[in-house]
Amino acid sequence: MSKLQESLEQGKFTITGEVGPPKGVDLEHCMDKEVSYIKDRVVAINVTDNQSSVMRISSLSICTLLARQGLEPILQITARDRNRLAIQGDILGGYVLGIRNILALTGDHNSAGDHPESKPVFDLDSVSILTAMNSLKNGKDLAGQELEGVPGDIFCGAIVTPGADPIEMQLIKMERKIEEGAQFFQTQAIYDSKVFENFMDKASKYKVPVLCGIVIIKSAGMANYMNNFVPGVQVPDSMITPLKEASKEDRPKKSIELMVEFIKEVKPMCQGLHIMAMGWEKYVPELLDMCDL
Amino acid sequence: MVVNVPKPGKELIEMVSGYKSLFIVACGGCPVGCDSGGKPRIDELTEQLSKNGIEVEGSTEIDFLCNKALVGSKLIYHIEKLKKSQAVLVISCGIGVQATGNMIDIPVIPANDTLSSQGMQGLWPSSERCAGCGTCYLALTGGICPITMCSKSLINGMCGGQHDGKCEVENERDCGWNLIYIRLNELGKLENLKKLPRLRDYRKMDVPDKERTTTRWALEKAEIYSAPVLNSEKEEASNE
């Protein structure tokens, strides 16, 4: 059983982090900086899969390096770049390299990234990647063929967007993910504790752990960008205004304070946090200290 | 020519089960040429449906269902019978099913599966399109196609890229799954979303040789290319 699964099953408030692999083979920033700042404060670390459709080192490789260091990776798999043969191969491949936690995502469309002329695959999607994982866990591939050696203890994750509109569609899809074997959820970034509370009121009946997604807002500009370009994410003015008013030197402090306030509000509602620091990994220990986590 | 073949009987019965009364709309174009439409198919389906306890309130054949304005103008004559029907069974390619769905406020059910045209169609009457996926999902998606209307052709529902009803690919482009959601909500059929298959079968996009040779497309080909062959065979026979 993975440490992540163990932590959630024991009912501990569980914190995960996230790193994005570099474009190129210089690992210094990713491994020596981002990972080293957060590794002692999180149970497991997500590694993104060509996030925003921008080509980078594969998630599988960075996850393997993390596992070799004794850290616990969460392999993100999107449906955009590989068909069901490649995805199942990577699930099994990850397993023999020590990876137990896998998170299934549909993936952004190719047109949003740096290779817009590439072929969108989407043979599977966030739901059917879970179908594939669950099938492999039960000893068969998607075509029904028997496996030699069964990766029975893969821990299957999925994502959900608490701020999505229409929320009913989001909940139907969440339910579908659970039916296909999702054992934990990490959420898209959310900043409104009321919206999160309403979502959890509806989602808690599924009894599947939900880790609230935290993206630290670094500036008013970033908040505006997210409001305009990231679907399902709404940063309220009550967060934007203080950041706009703070001086450049004070901004990180203000920004951390705002996140601490939000985390304290949502902590009783969910089973943990998923912190996507996006370059601000160095502030994560301080943020968690201030939340007594 | 849009090649479309009758849906497997079992699948069709599953899709109509739950309805007590249906109206049948048949396209007078390609399905007739493919032997998957016309009067014989209407009769066959009427019989099949009544055997399964479903009443056929009426039927009509319209040339061509891809002409949406024509569909609307012809269906007006059947308004009374349509009012008595819970859904419309459409004998057509996916375009005709979508165009019909767009003209009425009850669910549409495809009687046929459309196979890939493997290239340019030549006709583009309106916004409804059919990718010829070989597994028509329109009965479950409110007559709106997830394969052509979703930029990722997803069948498990909306992705995280939907914003204000639009797609992440283009700001002006409608999110197909949002349209499906709205339509199913209006029809009171949101539970359909739970019935969709999880996985696609891409083999069905390939046109089997049997279908190629039993369609009008093949007949056209035979007339143009096979005639000299037949003549030369005759010549050979007479020479012997």
Residue-wise pLDDT for B25-41, tens only, equals 999 999 998 889 999 99
Output the pLDDT for position B216: 55
Say if A289 falls within a structural domain: no
Q: How far is CA A72 from the centre of its chain?
A: 14
Residues of B in contact with A161 (CB under 8 A): 160
Say if A9 falls within a structural domain: yes
Print the domain residue range for A74.
3-283
Residue of chain A whose alpha carbon sits nearest to that of B169: A111
Return the number of other C-beta atoms located less than 10 Å from residue B46's C-beta. Answer: 18
pLDDT in tens, A63-109: 999 999 999 999 999 999 999 999 999 999 999 999 999 999 999 99
Output the pLDDT for position B69: 86
pLDDT in tens, A252-285: 999 999 999 999 999 999 999 999 998 899 999 9
Output the pLDDT for position A47: 98
Q: Which of A48, A78, A81, A109 to mutate to test the interface with B (most CBs of B within 10 A)?
A: A109
Q: Which of residues 85-104 of A touch B (CB under 8 A)?
A: none
Residue B230 has pLDDT above 60, yes or no: no
Can you tell me the mean pLDDT for B90-115? 94
Output the pLDDT for position B228: 45
Structure tokens at A131: 């179908």
* DSSP-derived pairing of the beta strands B4-6 and B112-114: antiparallel
DSSP B198: S
Partner-chain residue, chosen from A111, A168, A170, that has the shortest CB–CB distance to B169: A111
Is A192 an interface residue toward B (CB < 8 Å)?
no
Partner-chain residue, chosen from A165, A175, A180, that has the shortest CB–CB distance to B198: A180
Residue of chain B whose alpha carbon sits nearest to that of A127: B156
pLDDT in tens, A51-74: 999 999 999 999 999 999 999 999
Residues of B in contact with A169 (CB under 8 A): 157-158, 177-178, 181, 193
Residue A105 and residue A74 in contact, taking contact as beta carbons nearer than 8 Å: no
User: Binning pLDDT at 50, 70 and 90, where does residue A232 land?
Assistant: confident
Residues of B in contact with A108 (CB under 8 A): 161, 168
Mean pLDDT computed over every residue of chain A? 96
User: Binning pLDDT at 50, 70 and 90, where does residue A187 land?
Assistant: very high
Residue B119 has pLDDT above 70, yes or no: no
Output the pLDDT for position A246: 92
Residues of A in contact with B155 (CB under 8 A): 125
User: Binning pLDDT at 50, 70 and 90, where does residue B223 land?
Assistant: low
Distance between the two ends of chain B, CA-based, in angstroms? 40
Output the pLDDT for position B126: 64
Output the pLDDT for position B124: 54
Percent of chain B with pLDDT over 90: 66
Is A111's CB within 8 Å of B153's CB?
A: no
Residue B125 has pLDDT above 60, yes or no: no
Percent of chain B with pLDDT over 70: 82
User: Binning pLDDT at 50, 70 and 90, where does residue B211 land?
Assistant: low
Is B168's CB within 8 Å of A108's CB?
A: yes
Residue B208 has pLDDT above 90, yes or no: no
Residue B92 and residue B112 in contact, taking contact as beta carbons nearer than 8 Å: yes
pLDDT in tens, A3-28: 999 999 999 999 999 999 999 999 99
Say if A137 falls within a structural domain: yes
Is A122's CB within 8 Å of B181's CB?
A: no
Q: Which of A103, A117, A122 to mutate to test the interface with B (most CBs of B within 10 A)?
A: A122
Partner-chain residue, chosen from A108, A111, A127, that has the shortest CB–CB distance to B198: A127
What is the value of ipTM here, to two decimals?
Answer: 0.77
Amino acid at A126: S
Residue of chain B whose alpha carbon sits nearest to that of A176: B194
Say if A224 falls within a structural domain: yes
Output the pLDDT for position B127: 74
Residues of A in contact with B190 (CB under 8 A): 168, 172
Is A176's CB within 8 Å of B156's CB?
A: yes
Say if A225 falls within a structural domain: yes
Is A161 an interface residue toward B (CB < 8 Å)?
yes
Structure tokens at B114: 């459309």
Residue B212 has pLDDT above 70, yes or no: no
Is A127's CB within 8 Å of B151's CB?
A: no
Is A142 an interface residue toward B (CB < 8 Å)?
yes
User: Binning pLDDT at 50, 70 and 90, where does residue B225 land?
Assistant: very low
For residue B65, which of B39, B44, B94, B36 has the smallest C-alpha distance? B94
Q: What is the DSSP string of A218-277?
A: --HHHHHHHHHHSTT----HHHHHHHHHS-TTTHHHHHHHHHHHHHHHHGGGSSEEEEE-
User: Binning pLDDT at 50, 70 and 90, where does residue A120 land?
Assistant: very high
> Chains A and B: how many Cβ contacts under 8 Å?
80
Which single residue is written with the structure tokens 């305009």? A228
For residue A265, which of A166, A207, A194, A163 has the smallest C-alpha distance? A194
Q: Could you tell me the CA-to-CA distances from A191 to A175, A234, B17, B70 in Å, in that order?
A: 23, 7, 45, 51
Q: Which domains does chain B have, with CATH numbers?
A: 4-214 (3.40.50.11860)
If one counts the domains in chain A, the total is 1
Is A106 an interface residue toward B (CB < 8 Å)?
yes
Output the pLDDT for position B1: 73
Residue B231 has pLDDT above 60, yes or no: no
Residues of A in contact with B168 (CB under 8 A): 108-109, 112, 231
CATH classification of the domain holding A228: 3.20.20.220
Residues of B in contact with A232 (CB under 8 A): 160, 162-163
Output the pLDDT for position B206: 75
Percent of chain A with pLDDT over 70: 100
Can you tell me the mean pLDDT for A170-191? 97
Say if A291 falls within a structural domain: no
Can you tell me the mean pLDDT for A133-154? 98
**Residue A157: strand, helix, or coil:** strand
Is A232 an interface residue toward B (CB < 8 Å)?
yes
DSSP B38: H
Partner-chain residue, chosen from A111, A173, A180, that has the shortest CB–CB distance to B157: A173
Question: A143 burial class (0-12, 13-18, 19+ CB within 10 angstroms)?
Answer: exposed
**Residue A91: strand, helix, or coil:** helix
Residues 6+ apart with CB under 8 A from A167: A198, A199, A202
Distance CA B46, CA B44 (A): 6
Residue of chain B whose alpha carbon sits nearest to that of A119: B152
Is A159's CB within 8 Å of B160's CB?
A: yes
